[in-house]
Amino acid sequence: MTVFPSAKPSSAAVPNELFDPKALAHRALAGPPFTKEEMLALLRDPEDPEVLHILCRAAHLVRLKVFGNVLVLRGIIEFSNICRNDCLYCGLRRSNRNLVRYRMDEEEIFAAVERAIRMGFRRIVLQSGEDGAWHPDRLVRLVREIVTRYGVVLTLSVGELPFEAYRRLMDAGAYRYLMRHETSDPELYARLHPGTSFGVRREHLYTLKSLGYATGPGMMVGLPGQTLESLVDDVIFMRELRAEMAGVGPFIPHPETPLRDAAPGSPILTLKMVALTRLNLPETHLPATTALRVAFRDNPHLPLLCGPNVVMPDVTPPRWKVHYDLYPGKTKADLVDDGENVYAYWERQAAEVGLVVD
Ligand code: SAH
Ligand code: SF4
């Protein structure tokens, strides 16, 4: 086994096997659960590349054990960039007047689903801002139509809705719901989300879970004012929720938001959090998120080798996807030309690191 000399912990309270990939992977699969102190010890030097290496090897071993070498692809259709919310970090926030707004209608969405299916996708994610014109009744009809007409596995990521709407959407055939908790630090959450609170977000997530959705929380890494401790709390929050999916990506400042001058989230720390998430939630679907792939544009294989088992390529029609500008780099994350088959592109990417797509 490779030895990582400089990664040895200095504190006697931290056992050496915490810094050994195989021991870490074994612990992740057999328990007991990692403690907060252990996770903080692993993150003590956030930028240390050797600990990153150890965490990634451990997380990759766990993903191979649980999911084999399969990389799950879900095509994401971003069907509206209109949003009533004003999240401080997001380029779609309602106060951003310098954004071309669009809303696809049913026919355009069906055409996008059909195009994705032709490429090879069998799983579709519908994502949008919190767009009032997409009333729950209309969403329910859309979901029912897509599921019955095309037989795809459908994930929703359309923000907070009345609780009864979640139930109706599930009855209509929605299987999974992505709603990041963004940060588990209640003060930071309140600062970033005018007019709402972490408690509200938590309630939505637990409601989705209790209704039977495969539930997907997640957080940004490197938000201004975020601490390492709160990042560990994020992982524990997702572990307690028993999240079926977990979206972890770096914060990337957007020039048309109040956080334009904030420092971006560290790619290395973000990747460590991805690996730690895999170690704490071995069976959770963990995407190599778009923001993570943007941060590792120069080393695109690395995120695939740190625990993720999912990629969600953008299959929004090219004329609209350039306007789904959550953060810089987002709209050009997949390095494919507009006419190119992004499913085939990911088949090739997966093969380069010994994975096969499903
Ligand atoms: N409106 C829905 C879905 C679209 S936003 C919702 O909020 O759930 C999807 C995700 O994009 C958010 O959960 C957030 O974590 C991420 N995001 C938004 N702005 C970002 C930024 N500046 N950097 C990194 N991720 C960002
Ligand atoms: Fe709207 Fe989602 Fe962006 Fe918040 S993160 S402003 S809810 S699109």
In tens, the pLDDT along 252-268 reads: 999 999 999 999 999 99
- Name which residue sits closest to atom 8 of ligand 2, judged by CA: 129
d(CA 67, CA 29): 13
Residue 83 in marked binding region:
yes
Q: Which of 170, 172, 74 is nearest to 123 (CA)?
A: 74
- Name which residue sits closest to atom 7 of ligand 1, judged by CA: 159
For ligand 2, say whether the CB of 159 is within 6 Å of any of its atoms.
yes
> How high is the pLDDT of residue 13?
57
> How high is the pLDDT of residue 2?
37
Tokens encoding 233: 């709390």
Ligand 1 centroid from CA 9, angstroms: 35
Strands (E), 118-253: 123-128, 153-157, 176-178, 214-216, 218-221, 247-250
Angle between helices 267-280 and 21-30 in degrees, nearest 10: 40
> How high is the pLDDT of residue 241?
98
Query: Best of 180, 192, 256, 274 to mutate for ligand 1, by most ligand atoms within 8 A of CB?
Result: 180
As a dihedral over the C-alpha atoms of residue 269, residue 206, residue 35, residue 309, rounded to 10 degrees, the angle is -50
Domain spanning 34-357: which superfamily? Aldolase class I (3.20.20.70)
d(CA 139, CA 133): 10
Strands (E), the chain: 70-73, 75-80, 123-128, 153-157, 176-178, 214-216, 218-221, 247-250, 310-311, 356-357
Ligand 2 centroid from CA 91, angstroms: 8
Tens of pLDDT along the chain (358 residues) come to 333 334 444 454 566 789 999 999 999 999 999 999 999 999 999 999 999 999 999 999 999 999 999 999 999 999 999 999 999 999 999 999 999 999 999 999 999 999 999 999 999 999 999 999 999 999 999 999 999 999 999 999 999 999 999 999 999 999 999 999 999 999 999 999 999 999 999 999 999 999 999 999 999 999 999 999 999 999 999 999 999 999 999 999 999 999 999 999 999 999 999 999 999 999 999 999 999 999 999 999 999 999 999 999 999 999 999 999 999 999 888 778 777 899 999 999 999 999 999 9
Which tens digits make up the pLDDT trace of 62-113? 999 999 999 999 999 999 999 999 999 999 999 999 999 999 999 999 999 9
In this prediction the pTM is: 0.95
Residue 90 in marked binding region:
yes
d(CA 248, CA 234): 10
